[in-house]
Amino acid sequence: MTTRKPTILIVEDDDQIRRLLCTILQQSGYNVRPAPDGVAALDDLQAEIPDILLSDLNMPRMSGFELLPVVRQQFPTTRLVAMSSAFSGDDVPEGVVAGAFYAKASKVGALLQILETMTCPEA
């Protein structure tokens, strides 16, 4: 039996980081869609609901701080991962609505581990 990798919507305003994350996650078998900010992400969510939303916290137009609570309320089955280079550690920063946190300056293996954990039943 083949296990389907989850669909991930990556919300990141930095073009290089967004492309790099898309490439890494696609090579890891994930179905990935990019969005440059929270407004674009909400538009994308209307078309197709991802399994996981990976969002930067600091972006123009609509930040991850603003986006994540909206997604949690409107799309409760989507698992949320916040990311930022302004915070460190593994814990979700206080006041951030997310199930996990990825410090952008850390190793990509940490992100892959977070995503793998989120794909397990009852994670």
Q: pLDDT tens-digit profile of 26-61? A: 999 999 999 999 999 999 999 999 999 999 999 999
How far is residue 14 from each of residues 8, 19, 54, 104, measured CA to CA in Å?
17, 9, 14, 12
What CATH code is carried by the domain that includes residue 38?
3.40.50.2300
Work out how many domains the chain is built from and give that number.
1
- Tell me if 123 is assigned to some domain: no
- Tell me if 26 is assigned to some domain: yes
- Tell me if 36 is assigned to some domain: yes
Confidence band (pLDDT; 50, 70, 90) for 1? very low
- Tell me if 1 is assigned to some domain: no
pLDDT for res 122: 47
Q: What is the pTM of this model?
A: 0.91
- Tell me if 81 is assigned to some domain: yes
- Tell me if 110 is assigned to some domain: yes
> Domain range spanning residue 31?
7-118
- Tell me if 44 is assigned to some domain: yes
- Tell me if 15 is assigned to some domain: yes
How far is residue 91 from each of residues 16, 44, 49, 64, 110, measured CA to CA in Å?
25, 27, 25, 16, 12
What rounded mean pLDDT belongs to the chain?
Answer: 90
